[in-house]
A and B are shown apart, each in its own frame.
Chain A
């Protein structure tokens, strides 16, 4: 009886996954769709396959620039959020009670940061930048993206640190290792999976962000904001090509982490 239930649940789960995949399959498939007449824009009328949009990838003014901006922004904000967030996670896990006064406030700020609706964060950042006459552009985007990624990195790394055996560090200290060496040779390798998971999350959040970016971008448009603007006049087919490229990038990263975790499991 248990196995029939499992089979029904399995069938349901596969159907749900298929439903989740519908737009992605649509995007990849229609990135090969030809356009017969008029200004090239995506339509879901099949006009025959073509590689034209892959060849003419950079022909749309503004689109390649916005794509590279998004990649640069994601890399930069991931680096900032991962370093700063990991340090905070170390502080939060290692020092409790009187050793770290104000820990609760930091905790609650992190929680509020995750819970705050994106629109409120975007609006409040725009309000601040405008009050102090800070020009909107790459810097404001970087600041904002690092702010919403940071809390996620901290939470992810902290979850990993909580199951961490501190005796290993003490042992390293007893063996004459300096705190910095201990951190480099013992702590960092142990928390690395958590740090990587946090970094991947920060990267994905940044690459995908629309709401906050839309507020703080000004005229420097990241990819999602550019695409959103394009929906009013018709989306050029190259958008699907860039979308497919991002998808492949994400899939490669996911498969990579899957293979790495398999290997890790085999070793232990």
Chain B
């Protein structure tokens, strides 16, 4: 009897580890170890032809990757930041409207926001390529209205890349914003009004601070993937607006240069993590775990 109870208590104590074990192993082996190996590979010298790598502790490969690609990295950060700001501005009103005005049809509108995801990301981008091309719908309409000249081009420009990024990640911004607005108690808005705060003051001092977690999640789900994205740039962009994702992809899959590719990936990962920490601090979050 007491043996059975002891066994039961042992099982009880081991339960969290047993339940978590498969996931922990999976994450360790297929997420953390590859990241560690990537750092190791960045310090190795690899032979692109044979794929054999030798450890050389070349920490300089990281700084080399940085100097070689800093322009492209800054460009990627800028594009992703612009796309994120566009998305925040565009999706705030709709998130606000769904949270406070949509009433019983909330779920319907939320699903409408998700509809683009039912079509493959690559196909969506390819269709934009057609729509934005020189003989496509958008350019034709603008030309018909004599708003632009006959040799006007959208495809291949920086604008097209940023527009594509903003389009593809918009729902990722709108949904977290909606979640945090939905939690906001409308009585607070009334209280702010009763205390003689104007609309702008209320927005700035009540709505925005309470939405901080949503804005943070939006940043996470829009800025980070946009920063590393290369599909939009490859399909919609042209020369002169290469993003860092394109470079990494080419290093790995075209040049077979795993060492340089790893070094650049380490830098991208580092920038993403630094960005997350700084952004989280700015928004005054106590711990990163609050947002998981």
A interface residues, Cβ below 8 angstroms from B? 6, 9-10, 12-13, 16-17, 19-24, 26-27, 42-45, 83-85, 87-88, 90-92, 94-95, 99-100, 103-104, 106-121, 123-128, 130-131, 143-144, 146-147, 150-151, 154-155, 204, 207-208, 210-211, 214-215, 223-224, 227-228, 231, 235, 239-240, 243, 246-247, 249-251, 254-255, 258, 261-262
Contact = CB atoms under 8 A, between A and B. Distances in A.
Interface of B: 13, 15-17, 19-20, 22-24, 26-28, 30-35, 37-38, 41, 51, 53, 90-91, 93-94, 96-98, 100-101, 107-109, 111-124, 126-131, 133, 135-137, 167, 170-171, 220, 224-225, 227-231, 235, 245, 248-249, 252-253, 258, 261-262, 265, 268-269, 272-273, 276, 288-289, 291-292
Contacts of B288: 108, 111
Contact of A126 (B119, B170, B252): B252
Nearest to A155: B292
Ordered nearest first, which 9 A-B pairs have the shortest CB separation?
A: A250-B118, A117-B228, A88-B23, A124-B34, A95-B16, A91-B19, A91-B20, A23-B127, A100-B16
A111 B220 CA distance: 10
Nearest to B217: A114
A27 B35 contact: no
Contacts of B26: 84, 146-147, 150
Contacts of A107: 289, 292
8 contacts: A10-B97, A12-B93, A19-B167, A20-B116, A119-B230, A120-B228, A123-B265, A250-B119
A2 B108 CA distance: 23
Given A127-B37, A227-B126, A243-B120, 7 more contacts: A9-B97, A27-B119, A106-B20, A123-B38, A123-B248, A128-B30, A258-B111
Contacts of B276: 115
A261 B38 contact: no
Given A117-B225, A123-B248, A254 B114 contact: yes
A210 B269 CA distance: 19
A101 to B, nearest CB: 9
Contacts of B115: 20-21, 24, 251, 254
A6 B97 contact: yes
A117 B90 contact: no
A204 B292 contact: no
Nearest to A143: B30
Contacts of A85: 23
A228 B122 contact: yes
A227 B15 contact: no
A250 B114 CA distance: 10
Contact of A211 (B96, B109, B228): B228
Contacts of B245: 117, 119, 211
A94, A104, A128, A251 — which one has the most chain B CB atoms within 10 A of its CB?
A: A128
B292 A214 contact: no
A108 B93 CA distance: 32
A47 to B, nearest CB: 14
A117 B130 contact: no
A17 B136 CA distance: 21
A187 to B, nearest CB: 12
A208 B194 CA distance: 48
Residue among A13, A109, A110, A117 with most chain B CB within 10 A: A117
A131 B228 contact: no
Contacts of B273: 112, 115
Contacts of B109: 13, 17
A128 B220 contact: no
A144 B122 contact: no
B23 A87 contact: yes
Given A23-B116, A91-B15, A258-B108, A124 B128 contact: no
A254 B111 contact: yes
A208 B117 contact: yes
A14 B289 CA distance: 35
Contact of B16 (A23, A26, A99): A99
Nearest to B292: A111
Contact of A115 (B28, B121, B272): B272
Contacts of A124: 34-35, 37-38, 262, 265
Contacts of A95: 15-16
Given A12-B94, A109-B27, A116 B119 contact: no
Contacts of A20: 112-113, 115-116, 167, 170-171
A23 B15 contact: no
